[in-house]
Amino acid sequence: MSSFIRLFASVKAAIVLIIIITIASIVGTLIPQGRSPEEYLLRYGQLAPLFQRLQLTKLYSSFWYLALLFLFSLNLIICTLLRLKPKIKRVFRPHLDFKPSELMALKNSQKIIFSVPMEKVYGQLRSILHSYHYQIKEKKGESSLTLLGRKKMSGYFGADVVHLAILLILIGGLTSGLFSFRMDLALHKGEMATIPHSDFAVRLDAFTTEYYPNGQVKDWKSTLTVVEEEKEVLSKTVEVNHPLKYKKYLFYQSAYGWDWDKADLEIVIRSAEAQGQDKIISVKNGEKVTCDPNLEIHVHRFLPDFVLDENKRPFSRSNEPNNPAAFVEVTREGERIFSGWLFARFPDFGQMHPGKDSPLSLELRNFSASEYSVIHVSRDPGTGFIWAGCIFIMLGLALAFYWTPREIRFLLQSEAGRTALLVAGIASKNKEALEKEIEKIISSLRKKK
Amino acid sequence: MKESTLFPLTFLFYLLASFFYFSSLFTRKEKLNRTGSGLVIIGFFIHNLALIFRTIESGHAPFTNMYESLSFFAWSTVLAMLIAEKVFRFYRLSAYLMLLVIALMALASSPLMPKEATPLVPALQSYWLWLHVSVTLLGEAFFAVAFIASILYLVASAKENKGQSFSSLSSEKLDSLSYRAVAIGFPLFTLGGLVFGMVWANVAWGRYWAWDPKEVWSLITWFFYALYLHTRIVMGWKGKRSAWIAIIGFLAALFTYFGVNYLLSGLHSYA
Ligand code: HEM
């Protein structure tokens, strides 16, 4: 065996690797992953470039973390395979030539003398072992006989099944990393999008948000229709936790939003000079409209959730219309007569803070934007391996912990019409239970004679 | 009946039970132990009712905020304790395990924990919530059994080294008990925490694994118990070193469960 293989065959190496992977994984939970360079600079200052160079900011896909997982897989494969060979031999071609001294050297072995011929003891022993569901292998000698009773032998392979399952999961992860396809589709009602690398498209037919009585969001629902070669193939309402599956693609309700950039606004203009003659104007964010022959209204910006940052610069805290505000400029014959923020939630704000010499007051009465639903599309060929791995890992754990193999070795020796029986049990776990079972087998053998 | 009256009643029975368990430990009267066991079973029965009422009152699984979670974890730990009593026929652990249960119940009762039920955010509306959380917590409850057994092991073996005995607990028994608890907890934690977690993440978020801090910490917890098993089975570690791994493993499980929510941010931060 080369020293390379020997290194990777050892469980010590596995333990060292698991400890290193654990420490690395902990580091990855302490440093937020996949943020912008600016955020790291703010958080860690001068250390930021070092962290990025060491790939600590995208640790779980870093070269060195993947290398650790690769070494771990190698370790697992070599370790499992090397131990599998002797195990298979032991299970399928068991050793039957045990000598009396060998048996007596085993823990809890015992010797019993029966005053009946060996053939008779042998026959009774066989039937008792069968009634305890033992499978029997035997070998006849001249005046002796060896008999091996075994059950639940597949338990020996529990750990191997677990290890194989872990490999399957790692292969699944690798497959996902290399070959999965994901994208987010932002769809407006009625909009259709073709799915890349496929021969079909999906259309959003309806999108609704449901609320609890207290106003909290209960669910988002998107009705999606799959269109293939201009035919509607199927229609399903997708909601959180209930994706649509079609041809290896899964469609998830992932988010929603509004096109505030193209918001439609309704602005009321009151003139101090002409009271009671309010004008209502519809205008799109970013556009200009002329109402009076010489009055021009320009909406420069619309923020759905107006707040000021540390430098008193306005920005939108979220995409939700919590505090909608529009920055509006009004000019008459090229001369600016109003410019400022209008707040839909605080219509009086404009009145309380009128432009110094503005003859107008404005109000943002209404705002709307088209809503879209964000559908996450994924095609992940790794999931098959993952689910197979999950099933095998549970099977393997059940075998390893709760299907403990039991072996009982018997050696019968004929001694002038009498029979000497040597017994010893072997179990890797729950030895006491096997001892009890052996006691029962022997006492029923004693009763039978 | 309401959950808000059943919960304190449960707590009361658990407190009474511990009192009897400890009296039995110090007076060595077996009878008191059986009284303790009976009181725990009554408390557990009321706890079941409390959880059922909570489910009816809130309209969803009784483990979606910290108060509910603590109560449910206490419930799982008592269940694991009752199973351990039956399977391992080892009653002396119960007194110490009840200390953990009482700590959880006290934390849940503290005014720091908001008790009102809130409606579920969309991502949590799934029957996978039931499977994922309940099986994981039951697994962790068996880790708690191993944790207590391991701490007692360290105390008992230190006393034995000085030629004393520790309330008639033998260190050898505690060591094997710890392993048997891990042998139940590990498959449950694997099934609930990792397998059901991945299945649900795939259904809700469209990916089975996202390296979210809570996911990574479950994996770290799992690694600790893998270390426990391998050092024990393959390298023959027993006793002290084994006990320390089981103790640190449970602390990792607790951190995964409570710490991650408060200290690290991620997808799981609503739970
Ligand atoms: C985190 C990853 C791993 C897990 C979850 C795992 C799981 C298990 C389990 C459940 C057992 C059975 C324990 C028992 O019967 O009490 C076992 C046994 C064993 N494992 Fe692992 N294992 C992992 C990694 C490894 C690695 C990398 C190696 C290779 C060096 C390894 C080598 C062994 C060996 C030699 C046994 C002895 C039992 C036998 O072969 O029958 N394991 N493992």
Pair of tokens at residue B206? 């469209």
pLDDT at residue B269, rounded to an integer: 46
Does a structural domain hold residue A401? no
Does A378 lie in the same domain as A311? no
- The number of angstroms, rounded, from the C-alpha of A263 to the middle of its chain's C-alpha atoms is 38
The 10s digit of each residue's pLDDT in A371-390 is 899 999 999 999 999 999 99
Candidates A28, A217, A250; nearest CB to B122:
A217
For residue B121, count CB atoms less than 10 angstroms from its CB and return exposed for 0-12, middle for 13-18, buried for 19 or more: middle
- Please tell me the total count of domains within chain A: 4
What is the strand order of the sheet A144-151 is part of? A110-114, A418-426, A406-415, A144-151, A135-140
Residue B194 is given by DSSP the state: I
Measured between alpha carbons, how far is A185 from A374 in angstroms, rounded to an integer?
Answer: 5
Does a structural domain hold residue A405? no
Does a structural domain hold residue A400? no
Does a structural domain hold residue A158? no
Does a structural domain hold residue A81? yes
Element (H or E) spanning B14, and its range? helix B3-27
pLDDT greater at residue B27 or residue A80? A80
Residues in chain B with pLDDT values less than 50: 269-271
Q: Is the CB of residue B206 less than 8 Å from the CB of residue A180?
A: no
Q: Is the CB of residue B189 less than 8 Å from the CB of residue B225?
A: yes
3-state secondary structure B141-180: HHHHHHHHHHHHHHHHHHHHHCCCCECCECHHHHHHHHHH
Does a structural domain hold residue A220? yes
Does A245 lie in the same domain as A174? yes
Answer whether B230 contacts ligand 1 (Cβ < 6 A).
yes
C-alpha dist (Å) from residue A434 to A313, A406, A412, A426, B238:
77, 7, 20, 8, 22
Give domain limits for chain B: 1-115, 124-271
Give the number of the atom of ligand 1 that is nearest the alpha carbon of residue A397.
Answer: 10
pLDDT at residue B270, rounded to an integer: 42
Measured between alpha carbons, how far is A206 from B146 in angstroms, rounded to an integer?
Answer: 53
Q: What's chain B's Rg over C-alpha atoms? A: 19
The 10s digit of each residue's pLDDT in A397-447 is 999 999 999 999 999 998 888 899 999 999 888 888 999 999 999 999 888
Q: Which of A8, A163, A390, A428 best tests ligand 1's pocket when mutated (most atoms within 8 Å of CB)?
A: A163
Does a structural domain hold residue A214? yes
What is the DSSP secondary-structure string of A93-138?
Answer: S------HHHHHHSTT-EEEEESS-HHHHHHHHHHHHHHTT-EEEE
Does A320 lie in the same domain as A291? yes
Q: Is the CB of residue A136 less than 8 Å from the CB of residue A153?
A: no
User: What is the torsion angle, in degrees rounded to the nearest 10, for the CA atoms of residue A237, residue A241, residue A245 and residue A251?
Assistant: 80
Pair of tokens at residue A235? 């229609």
Q: Which residue owns the Cα nearest ligand 1 atom 39? A: A159
User: Measuring CA to CA, which residue among A274, A267, A271, A302 is closest to residue A286?
Assistant: A302
Q: Which residue in chain A is spatially nearest to B189 when comparing CA positions?
A: A394
* Average pLDDT score over chain A: 89
Query: Which distant-in-sequence residues (6+ apart) come within 8 Å of A49 by Cβ?
Result: none
> Quick one: what percent of chain A has pLDDT higher than 70?
96
Give the mean model confidence (pLDDT) for residues A203-216. 89
Q: Tell me if A401 and B187 make a contact (CB, 8 A cut-off).
A: yes
Candidates A239, A254, A383; nearest CB to B202:
A383
Does a structural domain hold residue A402? no
Q: Is the CB of residue B124 less than 8 Å from the CB of residue B271?
A: yes
The 10s digit of each residue's pLDDT in A284-301 is 999 988 887 778 899 999
CA distance A339 to chain B (A): 41
For B1-115, CATH number? 1.20.120
Give the structural domain span for A210. Answer: 166-258+373-395
pLDDT at residue B88, rounded to an integer: 80
pLDDT at residue A249, rounded to an integer: 95
